[in-house]
Structures are given as C-alpha cells and as structure tokens.
Amino acid sequence: MNIFQVGDLVRYNDVALANEIPGLVMGLLFKDDYTGSDLLEVQWFDWEPGHLAKERPQVLVVISSVSEGK
C-alpha cells in the first residue's frame, strides 16, 4: 500500500482512469466498515467544494507530497 499524507496531491495511476486534475488528500481512512478495504479521502479540484471521494490507495499515485523539501 502507498503511504499518503494529508495535503498530498494525487492522481489515478491507471492511464484509462487518469485525468489531468489532481486530487488533494483530505484525510486517511484505514478501513471501510462495509468492505474492510483500505480507503483514502480525496477532494478532486474539479468537484464541488465539500465533495469527497473515497478512493482505494492502490489506484492512486502521489504527484506532489506535502513533505517534499522538509
């Protein structure tokens, strides 16, 4: 599993799914109560404010880390 931090910019790692609009990691969810899978909360910049996606970390890649340069 990838390690993400709140504030990281992410995008889909699959060419078929990828878009040019990155998402901002808003918070980490370790387990989905229903499926038991790992999830990540992401706010995509082309979505309305307040709309959070719950994504599987396996399909995301970091394009800019909040910890870079520290």
Q: Do 25 and 40 meet the contact criterion of CB atoms below 8 Å apart? A: yes
Cα–chain center distance at 7? 10
pTM of the model: 0.78
Distance CA 13, CA 57 (A): 10
pLDDT in tens, 22-62: 999 998 877 878 888 888 999 999 999 889 999 988 889 99
Which amino acid is residue 27, in one-letter code? G
pLDDT at 70: 53
pLDDT at 58: 87
